[in-house]
Chain A
């Protein structure tokens, strides 16, 4: 992402659409529009101020066209890059570039999904692949299960350590009124749940919910005159290593290594500078891989790192404070919701789950089957100046 100027744009508005199970016959574009209106309201801007539209959907073939029509914004600058759940982290980088170049001045990044209401098969049709489909992998879960099998084999990671990730997420979700599942959860509960694709049980897998939302980006200068403390975009990076799991070079090393390095380089920061982590937890193994690949522990140590409640509330690292895709909300593509949580942490508006003194956040999106990795580092005015 050389060419993007550290801190030149900021996220100024953020809001979820309806989450969980939305009203019958709501469409993904309804949810995007709902998120956009709420996010604009959050920052005090109006729809007439918006001249950049960024979105992605598996339920709308030409989603940004549908969104431009719905909102009545024919002249908007548009981008609907779609690489799965990390699309929105990439949209942040693209929106920042567009704002830097003057292609747009107020950009919204939006998402909406009704996958719980319409069913997963309907919401996200799988493409046949002649080299994988005959073997009936249960995708995406089986791909992550293969990665977990390899991590366990190579580094001695255990099912209990995977379960710790789900238990930590639940601990945070219990402090988030918007979370879908707030029931108590133990390591034993996770281990005793039915397998989906070994070694992953249903509690190692993300929720299947409806949901969406939007964020609003503008120039740093304009951001300072709006309602809330801006969340400045300090660093961005991306890496797409494969599309299909059989083409992933090493199942224990993700593209987060390179996306993270690029984001840290742009932000002039490293892992010790990060206060809050929002890591795309479609499956428990994700968090272990991303903690390693983003430099929070050595390769292979992720399982041992998360043990003993280390990433749960009160642990040594604040990871997925909204409760994650595992317990809060996972509407097919979850990457927008982690941006929203990071913005709220930097504003200090997270209530019971607020991380004290949070000045920096790393938001890491994952798309496909560990395929498309994209990292965004956000920071407050103090972090920007440091």
Chain B
């Protein structure tokens, strides 16, 4: 028979694959943030940066994603100021990192409306709100 038999072990009444991932992409990303690092992935076969983290590279499907730590420098790609019904306006921005991936974040330490497209920014790991995990925010690079 050509059908491959997957190696399996029994555990708590279930059959699980031996190549079962031990940590989700999000869990690994969060562990890095807890160490003060902004992590991303690179597909070894193509060299393409991948963000958000995944189990396989988009387009190729390659499972050869390696974790890398960003140097933390980027440029504001797009920006808005959210005006909530209650509370103070705040910034939401898309940041293009020098390594070639983009993420949503906000720029702190300056007025939300003073955030400009093209501004160079540096990552700072926010400890997270309450029970939330840490997340990356940015500050103007010149200010650091």
Contacts and interface: CB of A to CB of B under 8 A. Distances in A.
A137 B83 contact: no
A366 B110 CA distance: 34
B62 interface: no
Contacts of A137: 80, 82, 92, 104
A271 B51 CA distance: 36
A142 B82 contact: yes
Interface in B46-78: 51-52, 77-78
A132 B80 contact: no
Contacts of A245: 94, 104
Interface residues of A, number: 26
Interface in B23-62: 26, 29-30, 51-52
B16 interface: no
Interface residues of B, number: 32
Q: Which of B80, B82, B129 has the most CB of A within 10 A?
A: B80
Contacts of B126: 134
A244 B52 CA distance: 11
Which of A136, A137, A198, A244 has the most chain B CB atoms closer than 10 A to its own CB?
A198
A80 interface: no
Contacts of B129: 134
B77 A142 contact: no
A167 B135 CA distance: 40
B120 to A, nearest CB: 15
A43 to B, nearest CB: 44
B78 A251 contact: yes
A64 B84 CA distance: 36
B117 A153 contact: yes
Interface string A199-210: 100000000000
Contacts of B132: 134
A130 interface: yes
A65 interface: no
Given A134-B135, A136-B90, A198 B80 contact: yes
B102 interface: yes
Contact of B84 (A138, A146, A153, A251): A138
B13 to A, nearest CB: 30
A131 B136 CA distance: 9
Given A136-B90, A146-B92, A150-B117, A246 B82 contact: no
Q: Which 6 A-B pairs have the closest CB atoms?
A: A145-B80, A146-B78, A246-B104, A198-B81, A134-B135, A195-B83
6 contacts: A138-B84, A146-B80, A197-B82, A198-B81, A198-B113, A246-B103
Given A146-B80, A198-B80, A251-B77, 14 more contacts: A132-B104, A137-B80, A137-B92, A146-B93, A149-B79, A149-B80, A153-B78, A195-B81, A198-B83, A244-B104, A246-B102, A246-B103, A246-B104, A247-B102
